Amino acid sequence: MILLSAYCAVLLSFASGLLALMMNQRQTLLSISQYTINKLFNGDARCLDWVNKNLEERHFPVFLKQAVFVLLGLSGVFAVIAGLAILLGKGVITDQISLGLPWLPWHVRFDGLSGFFFFIIGIAVCAVSLYGPGYVHSYKENEHPFASLGLFTGLFVAGMLLVLLADDAFMFMIAWELMSVASYFLVAFQHENSANRSASFLYLLMAEIGALAIILGFGVLASFSDGFTFDALRESKLSETWASIAFVLAMLGFGMKAGIVPVHVWLPEAHPVAPSHISALMSGVMLKVALYGLIRFCFDLLGEVHWQWGVVLLILGTVSALGGILYAMMQPNLKRLLAYSSVENIGIIFMVLGLSMIFMANGHPQLAALGFLAALFHAFNHALFKNLLFLGAGIIQHQTHELNIDMMGGLIKGMPQTSKLFLIGCMSISSLPLFNGFVSEWLAFQTALQVDVLDNGVLRSLIPVAAAALALTAALAAACFVKVYGMIFLGQSRSSNAGKAREVKDKGMLAGPALLAGLCFFTGIFPGVIIHLINNVSGQLLGQTMPNDSALGWLWLAPVSAEQASYSPPLVLIGALIAAGVCYWYLRRNPLTVMRRAETWDCGFGGLTPRMQYSCSAFTMPFRRIFAKVWIIDEQISKDMQGAMNQDVAAVHYKLQIQDHSWPRIYQPIAQGVNSLAKQVGRIQTGNIRTYLGYSFATLLILLWVIS
């Protein structure tokens, strides 16, 4: 039954993709439906009417788009149901599908870990399918055909779900690559922009290399076992060296997808250019699938983990977290910023996973379970709020036709609903208490603070430093999202588009983010619900659950023991409401002190213009000075002079370009190397036939010489 609903989720997403293909087949659809109605319902007039009305030339596109997204939404609902059912039932279901290689049918396994990620994907897909119809409405059919968008969205979701179901290396890779390829087409969807083309190229290239690394990782395991099923791979007995090689390969492969520094570069290129609901899925969910892969590979298939791996994860995670947020801070493009912020969050998750590994390898399974919990919880949270923010960015782009933060401002007035939803997203991602982001970060700190149980002095000093880096990350994230929210929604509009922006008409476009925002708040207040679910996962995977001390009752969150640390979001919420309520009541009781509106104080110079506001780059200027080494900063100020002797400044031009270090340090040398090698290789083909004959001749002689 559970498996059936999981299959339903996959099939429905496929079906939504296929239905989208019918975009140009109105006549066919019409005749098919008329035929079936005549056969099955004996030509029921009402049915016919309904069909005819919806399949009319005029209504058809809208109807079809809605139908496609309804199917996708249903797929999400089924995914949530399946995920919850397996998590609560604590079972493992296996199955086989007769596809794949002749001696290796597709093995399917649905367990707690897959179920949890099913749950995440399901929620995200539900939100996206609420949001989708309104968003895609603005695409022109002849330039951006819905057929390809819908098809690849369906395939993309199906691919992600299949990855979670896979129980053999072959099916896993097929599903994995299906996910990559489908999302590649989605990135390239608006391919008339060169940014889309180069981003999709980079994306697919890195996806390919990552996938190859993963295959080789599986290959290492398969070399020491008989077969490609995960069951067989689990049995493989590896030496420490080979296990570490497998780990490094998996780390590279999954890390590329997840966006770990320095293999993150595709992410800030690809996510911004995709349609927003797709960026939401890519950033919010696809990265989680990569995380799933890493967890499955390291904790499940490799079996025994080594603490050195944990250190690698910890260091890479820290670098990604700090790098991600610092780069995010400097981006003027909203979606690019959000993409970099995903790098940061993935970094945090990797850090905590690394901690979990370290504890696991040092014989503290309980603490490992705690770290695991923090990691998965953060993954869940990130899926919620990043989805929310990307959908919000989509609304903003939809209404203002602008993604440059410096061109916005004051949207809080025109778009009150969106602004509230976006604020919730910003607060969650800045890990403020009462929201879900805080809970996972709190758990991460708690994990890090258990370092005292370790014997290794290096680890004992390394982990607190990582924790402090985590604190810095969180603080920088808060600064970054203050900037985002402040520049976009607050202040005065910096462009006419932003000034004219109004709330979206489509209710669905608000409903999707609202669902996510609600969940952000709900899980922030009642984290126990999700923790309970994750406990089942870690119980299955690590054989250890977190000792959630229930002595204090369900209101409290006490991961290790009540004496060590506890946090009760509901009580905090009540306290906050009381405090705010009291002072609100007290201060507003006097009718004489009703608020008065007046002009903003302009220091007496007269006339505040929007251009006097702090801009995006101005806001981050202190950071730019302090962390100057992190970026490649190209700052140019030029002055137009006029007047006698050219001494009066007429205008000042300021240009700021900020670049990621990884481009000139890693990627450009590689690209140049390949090009120049290709040039060298090209020289063997001279065009002269005598040279070619010489090659054959020489080859022959050399081979003859070699064998005799």
- Which of positions 61-100 make contact with other proteins (CB under 8 A)? 98-100
Interface with other proteins in residues 94-123 (CB under 8 A): 98-104
Rounded distance between C-alpha atoms, residue 332 and residue 483, angstroms: 10
634-653 binders of other proteins (CB under 8 A): none
Comparing CB distances to other proteins, the nearer of 120 and 658 is 658
Give residue for tokens 């995380």.
Answer: 291
Stretch that binds other proteins, among 43-51, 202-210, 285-293, 378-386 (CB under 8 A): 202-210
Cα separation, 645 vs 13, whole angstroms: 70
Give the shortest CB-704-to-other proteins separation in angstroms: 5
Binding segment for other proteins (CB under 8 A), chosen from 335-343, 347-355, 476-484, 641-649, is 476-484
Secondary structure of residue 654 in the 3-state scheme: strand
**Could you say which residues in the range 430-459 bind other proteins, by CB under 8 A?**
430-434, 438, 442, 445-446, 449, 451-452, 455, 457
Answer for which of 3, 48, 88, 479 binds other proteins (CB under 8 A) is 479
Q: With binding defined as CB under 8 A, does residue 551 bind other proteins? A: no
Classify residue 665 as exposed, middle or buried by CB count within 10 Å of its CB (0-12, 13-18, 19+).
exposed
Which are the contacts of 155, defined by CB distance < 8 A and separation ≥ 6? 13, 14, 17, 178, 181, 182
Task: Quote the CA–CA distance of 478 and 341 in Å, as a whole number.
Answer: 11
- Residue 213: CB minimum distance to other proteins, A: 7
- Per CB under 8 A, 552 contacts other proteins: yes
Q: Which is nearer to other proteins, 120 or 169 (CB)?
A: 169
Binding-site size for other proteins (CB under 8 A) equals 157
**Residue numbers 120-179 binding other proteins by CB under 8 A:** 143, 145, 169-170, 173-174, 177-178
Taking CB under 8 A as the binding criterion, the range among 3-11, 116-124, 204-212, 289-297 that sits at the site for other proteins is 204-212
DSSP 281-350: HIIIIIHHHHHHHHHIIIIIIS-S--HHHHHHHHHHHHHHHHHHHHHHHH--BHHHHHHHHHHHHHHHHH
Residue 195 is a binding residue for other proteins (CB under 8 A): no
- The residue written with tokens 């208490």 in the block is 433
Among the listed ranges 88-96, 526-534, 655-663, 694-702, the one in contact with other proteins (CB under 8 A) is: 694-702
**Residue whose CB is less far from other proteins, 459 or 541:** 459
Distances (CA, A) of 325 to 215, 298, 308, 433, 668: 31, 27, 26, 20, 23
H or E segment to which residue 642 belongs: strand 632-642
**Among positions 91, 219, 365, 518, the unique one binding other proteins when judged by CB under 8 A:** 219
Does position 262 interact with other proteins (CB under 8 A)? The reply is no
* Closer CB to other proteins, 33 or 617, in the complex: 617
Cβ contacts of residue 84 below 8 Å, gap of 6+? 115, 119, 533
Alpha helices for 450-568 (secondary structure H) = 457-489, 496-500, 507-525, 527-541
Residue 547 contacts other proteins per CB under 8 A: no
Does residue 389 touch other proteins according to CB under 8 A? no
Tell whether residue 248 is a contact of other proteins (CB under 8 A): no
Nearest residue (CB) to other proteins, 208 versus 300: 208
The C-alpha atoms of residue 291 and residue 283 are separated, in whole angstroms, by: 12
The beta strand positions in 644-703, using DSSP E, are: 648-659
Interaction between residue 687 and other proteins (CB under 8 A): yes
Q: How far apart are CA 390 and CA 281, in angstroms?
A: 9
Sketch the per residue contact string, 571 through 590, with other proteins: x for CB under 8 A, - otherwise: xx--xx--xx--xx--xx-x
Q: For other proteins, which residue of 35, 41, 554, 692 counts as binding (CB under 8 A)?
A: 692
Return the number of the residue (47 or 479) whose C-beta is nearest other proteins: 479
47 scored as a contact of other proteins (CB under 8 A): no
CB of 411 to other proteins, least distance (A): 10
Which CB atom, from 227 or from 262, has the smaller least distance to other proteins?
227
Enumerate residues 617-636 that contact other proteins by CB under 8 A: 618-623, 625-626
* Given 237, 629, 653, 690, the residue binding other proteins (CB under 8 A): 690
Residue 433 DSSP SS3: coil
Sequence-ordered alpha helix ranges (H) in 331-456: 334-361, 365-400, 411-414, 416-429, 436-449
Encoded tokens for 630: 């992190």
What angle separates helix 507-525 from helix 112-136, to the nearest 10 degrees? 150
Residue 654 found at the interface with other proteins (CB under 8 A): no
